[in-house]
Amino acid sequence: MDTKTLLKNMTLEQKAGLCCGGGFWETLALPDLGIPVMTLTDGPHGLRKQSVSADHLGINESEKATCFPSAAGLAASWNRDLLYKTGTAIGEECQAENVQIILGPGANIKRSPLCGRNFEYFSEDPYLSSQLAAKHIQGVQSRGVGASLKHFAVNNQETKRFTINVVLDERTLREIYLASFEGAIIEGRPWTVMASYPRLNGEFCSQNKKLLTDILRDEWGFEGFIVSDWFGVSERDKGLAAGLDLEMPTSAGIGTDAIIQAVKNDGLLEEVLDRAVLRILNIVFKSVEGRKTNVAYDKAAHHALAREVARESMVLLKNEGGILPLERKGVIAVIGAFAKTPRFQGVGSSHINATRIDIPYDEIAKVAGDAELKYAEGYSLNDDTANTALLEEAKKTAASAGVCVIFAGLPDKDDAEGTDRKSLGLPENQNHLITEITKVQKNVVVVLINGSAVEMPWVNEVKGIFEAYLGGQAMAGAATDILFGDCNPSGKLAETFPQKLSDTPCFINFPGDSKQVEYREGLFVGYRYYDKTGVKPLFPFGHGLSYTTFEYSGLRLDKTEMTDTEELKVCVAVKNSGTRAGKEIVQLYVRDVEADVIRPVKELKGFEKIDLEPGEETQVEFTLGKRAFAFYDTDINDWRVESGDFDILIGKSSAEIALSAGVHVTSSAVAKKCYTLDSTIADIKDEPAAARLVHMMSTGMNGGKELGMDISALLSSIKMRSLVATSRMWSGGKGGITIEQLHSLIAAMNGEGEDIHG
């Protein structure tokens, strides 16, 4: 279909209508013009296609679909290939249900562990998040279905998400919050991007031209259409002018009328509307080309894939004395209501009507062998207070066993769209249960079911801690595989687990006041904060244990000096030094040894997941380009590398660096110089054009000896504009430096003029 010809035959009313949705989940169809309907539905860890009345919050039932682990768990796999496979499976299910676009994945940064929707997001680190999001998108779209990357941008809390004004500086925005989307856009090439609800520095994201057009389209080259989050449009004509192509759901003609009137009253150029229509039409007809008929998918195969994905998404946090894997003998106590009534997904628009649900206790019973199982409920899911009868029964059951496995976690209300958590704690009845059981049983393993980090006041009293996250419909089978050693755990945390809430970077500034939230922690989100402050987390970013061991050696760089236009090849040897096969996640961090701007201690810039047999060794290779060394320079509005030494760090986690090597990088960029009369002598001391002036000041002040000061310290606070009066006093009022000479010097240092003379 020639969309440009089609556009010429459309009326203003038809064009405006196409930009405003045709229903709750459908775009507007114009049959007379041959424009079909296109269906969008919720994701992102499975298909949520509602079969009855639409509500967007998961209240009404949807069609059956495979519920895969949510993004919090998927990210802990650090497995690009697995994200791709998950995406392809979801794409196949979309085809089977005649869905053209699925809303996801979510690439928002985990600024605080309290965000109620963290289970839908990948990581606190933008590089990891963008890499995994890109693979998820590619997988979905390989099946002729479009992905909608969301929520662009700064949707990092649920509290007042429709109206909150997010205030943050440009560098933090670029390096942390936009970087999580940038790689996903450029590498994943999603068909659509969903604009978020909040305001960004005063302007709603859904009508923020800088965000939607200047950055997303002009800088990153995004070619698809931008859709609003549901009911996320403020002023439809302003949104369209800023780059918001499609309003969803339909606003029953309100948005259409606003666009029509804006065009007729010269408040909106019709060519702006035309561009939006073309972008929508291009995707509509792309979806037509991708549609397949009579599609069915293998539900059993997708369930098996969900189990495989869940296994790699789970993280063994603690394994004191090798308590895991469990032996198939003796008495095993299984404690906790979640063991028989499992949570496996979060609450809200991502809620999947699963094709089947595995039960932890049942899965354990299938493979326990000669072991005798004993079960106790332990706590109520309907009440956070301790139940004495349930507690005593659980203690008695645990005391009679050789080992106790406790299933604990967050309730639905704490992993939910629309609300943020109030604390990091598990329900008090669960914490109390775990503590009490450790008094009667020394061999305790806690299996956590939750979508975000939690406090663990009992961490030193239990021998094993196993983070299962919200592992999807096959979570129970996957957890059982790892508990009994049929699978070696290989997940690592994609977020930091703090010891207590007050340790978190944005503790003072989350979720803000009634109108706005200020991101005062700046760049120091997640491990960047813990590294910089020396605050020790409960479990660091990148942490995860295995039933085998790995040794790192032979770190090599292909050069020790380079320019920022070159690439650096990094190679390291990794050996499985244990007795069983396992997977290791090799993490590469970069540290700027000495920077003139504030920078994190180190930043993740590469990772690879490898699979090794016992005794097997392999070479892991990384390629680093300019962005691995760069920061966002707000003076030049671009990424810039500062010349100097950088450390290449290879780690098993952000807190366990095994090897390091150095490289000197020379920048090809010239930093923009913005000297003014308010610049200090210390600011200009290294400028050749100012050499005579700096020498004169040092000599004139006799090294600061009369004042008992170091001249360098004194000069650091003296402004250039002060030199007119100062030099005149030194010369007895008969000479000195003039204001004209200072202006000339400033121009010379900024590359705009000549040096002063005399």
pLDDT 10s digits, 745-756: 888 888 775 544
Q: What is the mean pLDDT of residues 435-461?
A: 98
**Could you tell me the CATH number of the domain that includes residue 68?**
3.20.20.300
Q: What is the mean pLDDT of residues 76-92?
A: 98
* pLDDT, position 756: 43
The single residue listed with the structure tokens 């628009």 is 349
* pLDDT, position 743: 86
Percent of residues in the chain assigned helix, strand, coil, to nearest 5: 35, 20, 45
* pLDDT, position 335: 98
Supply the range of the domain harboring residue 513. Answer: 308-533
* pLDDT, position 24: 96
How far, in Å, CA of 111 to CA of 100, rounded?
32
Residue 260 binned pLDDT confidence (cut-offs 50, 70, 90): very high
* pLDDT, position 708: 61
* pLDDT, position 674: 82
Q: What is the mean pLDDT of residues 270-276?
A: 98
Last residue of one domain, picked from the residues 638, 666, 694: 666
Tokens of 185: 């856009």
The single residue listed with the structure tokens 């961090």 is 589
Residue 93 covered by a domain? yes
Contacts of 440 (CB under 8 A, 6+ apart): 395, 398, 399
Contact of 140 with 212, CB cutoff 8 Å = no
* pLDDT, position 343: 96
Q: Are 426 and 493 within one domain?
A: yes
* pLDDT, position 229: 98
Model confidence pLDDT, tens digit, residues 136-157:
999 999 999 999 999 999 999 9
Q: Are 455 and 516 within one domain?
A: yes
Q: Are 273 and 350 within one domain?
A: no
Q: Can you tell me whether residue 253 is helix, strand or coil?
A: coil
Question: Which pTM value belongs to this model?
Answer: 0.93
Residue 393 covered by a domain? yes
Averaged pLDDT score across all residues of the chain: 94
Last residue of one domain, picked from the residues 259, 290, 321: 290
Least confident of 160-169, 301-310, 570-579, 712-721: 712-721
Q: Are 660 and 706 within one domain?
A: no
Strands of the sheet with 331-335, listed across from one edge:
315-319, 464-467, 444-449, 403-409, 331-335, 372-376
* pLDDT, position 681: 78
Q: Are 621 and 477 within one domain?
A: no
Residue 1 covered by a domain? no
Number of domains in the chain: 4
Q: Are 651 and 685 within one domain?
A: no
Model confidence pLDDT, tens digit, residues 17-68:
999 999 999 999 999 999 999 999 999 999 999 875 655 555 568 899 999 9
* pLDDT, position 713: 66
Residue 319 covered by a domain? yes
Residue 602 covered by a domain? yes
Residue 81 covered by a domain? yes
Residue-wise burial string across 359-376, b where 16 or more C-beta atoms lie within 10 A, e elsewhere: ebbebbeeebeebeebbb
Q: Are 248 and 124 within one domain?
A: yes
Residue-wise burial string across 303-322, b where 16 or more C-beta atoms lie within 10 A, e elsewhere: bebbbbbbbbbbbbbbbeee
Residue 719 binned pLDDT confidence (cut-offs 50, 70, 90): confident
Q: Are 111 and 234 within one domain?
A: yes
Residue 706 binned pLDDT confidence (cut-offs 50, 70, 90): low
* pLDDT, position 741: 81
Tokens of 348: 């809200």
Last residue of one domain, picked from the residues 471, 499, 533: 533
Q: What is the mean pLDDT of residues 300-304?
A: 98
* pLDDT, position 758: 34
| Percent of the chain residues topping a pLDDT of 90 | 86
Residue 256 binned pLDDT confidence (cut-offs 50, 70, 90): very high
* pLDDT, position 735: 65
Q: What is the mean pLDDT of residues 517-546?
A: 98
pLDDT at residue 161 tops 90 = yes
pLDDT at residue 72 tops 60 = yes
Q: Are 521 and 569 within one domain?
A: no
Tokens of 717: 């606070």
Q: Are 284 and 324 within one domain?
A: no
Which of 426, 427, 444, 424 is CA-nearest to residue 436? 444
Q: Tell me the CB-side half-sphere exposure of residue 585, using CA atoms within 13 A.
A: 30
Q: What is the mean pLDDT of residues 264-289?
A: 97
Residue 581 covered by a domain? yes
Strands 225-228 and 353-354: unpaired
Q: Are 197 and 145 within one domain?
A: yes
How far, in Å, CA of 458 to CA of 461, rounded?
5
Q: Which residues are catalytic?
A: 229
* pLDDT, position 703: 46
Residue 722 covered by a domain? yes
Q: Are 263 and 186 within one domain?
A: yes
Residue 727 binned pLDDT confidence (cut-offs 50, 70, 90): low
Q: Can you tell me whether residue 553 is helix, strand or coil?
A: strand
Model confidence pLDDT, tens digit, residues 660-702:
999 999 999 876 778 898 888 777 877 888 777 777 666 655 5
**Could you tell me the CATH number of the domain that includes residue 333?**
3.40.50.1700
Other beta carbons within 10 Å of 645: 14
